[in-house]
Structure 1
């Protein structure tokens, strides 16, 4: 299991999992991470693939087989997150998307179903690898990591704001947060007082770090209004 999150109402644990699936039994599937949820209100619950929860039309999980079985990370779906509005965000590699790896959204419709997942356009996604996105429950703030948009090191953490329905140009969160190593997987604690993230800054070993949000506000890379988005 990988990249877990909890739905804003606290009822579901969402995660990526490479479990074997019966409906893929007739396919020659290579290790394939799909999106799942677990009902936290039911002690007897078992993980459910999100394509079975929301239906195949939402295009959430694609089997990794055939021509893409050994191609990079294609058709591995990762890091599902739900917003208060019921929109589902995740990232994946798909040959019909924007770049090599993209952030996707499946928007909640009026009938409660999800629209087909689509890669977010520019400026969030590029022809290269765009991942490690975290979206606020309110749906107006996103933290991402990029290795190729300038900054302090191998991978830096950026912020984007949703303004008038569109995501803004990602802004580097600066040297108080980012290092010369790889920094990624950032998200705010529920009270938004701290930002937690993963980094290789100490001897290239993956560890989790925390930075008080007030430091980013003092630096001018975040505002109090951002924390309400």
Structure 2
């Protein structure tokens, strides 16, 4: 929802500019605007559903834990103990066998993939590797988030909410790609034609992104303080 608000603000800034003169009309109309419109249409009904927000938060937490586990195993591949390094190598290879960018998959597909990875990790041989690299705490957190999402999918009354959340995730990914492309083109044109015509737009975009990052940072600080309260 926060990301959508940032994109909404940036879209408003873009509409105030002479995009034809700035040579941004094409990328706006063919990339950014269609992605924004689709994202807006997907997000709008979700504002009414606290349950959907819970699903999206669970998915965000799960993605964070999955990436943390993967990064941890990659780091352990460099461990001075060759047994630990080999164990980490075997576990990371299991993850890689399920393809790239698993955290970007549709919600239910990602749930299924992670469930299979965790089942592979729990096999007798691989469980020994998990113990050797001390990865169980991370695996247990990932499993908890994944199981919570699976429960949502298995509840017939919540299937539509899960599908809506999956569509929102896909629309967000497409919006991010369109925004990144827009920024690349603005930077390229500013480099080729001079930055002056683009200064206001660049300033406004940077301001929106900086404010969003600050908000996230403050939210995480507040969360950390709450977590450490007795």
Structure in which a larger fraction of residues adopt strand: 1
With a CA cutoff of 8 Å and minimum separation of 6, indicate the structure with the bigger relative contact order: 2
- Range into which the TM-score falls when normalised by the shorter chain: under 0.3
What TM-score do the two structures reach when normalised by structure 1?
0.25
Structure in which a larger fraction of residues adopt helix: 2
